[in-house]
Amino acid sequence: MSAQSSSHCRSCQSANQSTFNGEIAIHFPGLEGVDKPIVWVFPKVLVCLNCGFTEFAVPEKELGVLVSGSSGGDATVVSRENDAGKRKSLSIKTVQKSLGVRLHQVLPPRY
């Protein structure tokens, strides 16, 4: 057995995986999530090119937001309380408005 189990897909065991730069907005689920911050992470994502299973790690400060449910420190979040004219915040709000609260998956890349 290989010691490098991470070199194979955890779902289909394929070795045909590749690393990409990810840009992911994490939303708290359910109605209560409407008042929670949206957490942005930009991880390296390991994508199985065979089945699509993807792995990534949430960085520590963003993980803290997911744990506490409130924005703090310098984690990259979009707060619904405070849009402060940030372009990213506004665009996310626009997307949220058009999709309602069902937007809780990965957003497509902007480029």
Contacting residues for 22 by C-beta, under 8 A, at least 6 apart:
41, 42, 43, 44, 45, 56, 106
Per CB under 5 A, 47 contacts Zn ion: no
Contact region with Zn ion (CB under 5 A), list: 23-31, 43-51, 70-78, 79-87:
43-51
Q: Identify the residue among 8, 33, 43, 51 touching Zn ion (CB under 5 A).
A: 51
Residue 22 or residue 59: which is nearer to Zn ion going by CB?
A: 22
User: How many other C-beta atoms lie within 10 A of the C-beta of residue 78?
Assistant: 21
Per CB under 5 A, 56 contacts Zn ion: no
Alpha-carbon gap, residue 93 to 15, rounded angstroms? 39
Q: Which residues in this chain contact Zn ion in the complex, by CB under 5 A?
A: 9, 11-12, 14, 48, 50-51, 53
